Amino acid sequence: MSIKDRSHLTTEKRNPRTEQIDTLPTQAIVDMINSEDLCVAAAVGKERMAIARAVDMIVHRFREGGRLFYVGAGTSGRLGVLDASECPPTFGVNRSLVQGIIAGGRRALVRSIEGAEDHEDDGQNAVVKKKIRAADTVVGIAACGLTPFVRGALKEARRLGAGTIFITCAPEAVNQARADIVINPVVGPEVVTGSTRMKAGTATKLVLNTLTTAAMIRMGKTHGNLMVDLKATNEKLKDRSRRIVTELTGLPSRKAEALLKQAQGHLKTAIVMHFKNTTPLKARQILKRNDHSLRKSIE
């Protein structure tokens, strides 16, 4: 398939349902966009088995000391950076564990960098610059499936022995994708032809959310559906930490706050202190012996 001719890609085709959208009143335009968006979750759901395999790959490599890298251009790149940036405050992980690489660099996060995605060499160099190694996982994101920057990054990642995952909304690109796992939510042509920031972007965000959230759950970063490894970096998260301690221990809010203060704000430590009636130091030791799993530590 020619990279220059994208006319046959699903992501570039005209949507027959929206060809007259500019003639409609505002409410009808909004309803039509909403109607098209309804297909996105179902399209992602059809890829659940591939997504689960991808999560298992990421978790296995995390446990081997590896990291997760998202690579993309434009909307795809921004979504990768967004998902990566949310992992440290939500799950208490180091900022190096999940990283986003976007064609054009940091400036491309807030403005379009024309032509930044058009060179495979740039993608390869970005992977080299990050010192990606065999234990890492590299996720290439390209709605149309043909982005040279992403292809170059995946090619270099494979050469280095890293695990590779490819996310695209174009079924035409699947057979050409050279990655260990391909995730292909087919959302169909966009409301505005080629505007993959819409349905394709929404599908991509759902997939990325699932990859990191499921991986972090498998890594013991939650207790049930509570984010017990969060970093309380603002008042909202401090309040959430206090409520989580109250929820799990049954302590009143004031005592939960005092317990957190003793544990220097570390949620898991505070909870283990309560259930094991022990000091912060011994609570941390108990967590370490149990692979930092709160459930194992208190049961």
d(C-alpha 196, C-alpha 294), whole Å: 41
Strand partners, 71: 101, 140
Active site residue 114: no
Query: Beta 137-141 vs 68-72: how paired, if at all?
Result: parallel
d(C-alpha 57, C-alpha 68), whole Å: 10
d(C-alpha 264, C-alpha 69), whole Å: 31
SS3 category, 141: strand
d(C-alpha 160, C-alpha 125), whole Å: 13
Active site residue 235: no
CA atoms within 13 A on the CB side of 71: 34
Give CA 91 to chain center in angstroms: 12
Choice among 12, 36, 117, 190 that is catalytic? 117
Give the amino acid at 265. Answer: G
- Give the C-alpha distances (Å, rounded to integers) separating 3 from 119, 141, 200, 294: 12, 16, 19, 49
Residues known to be catalytic: 86, 117
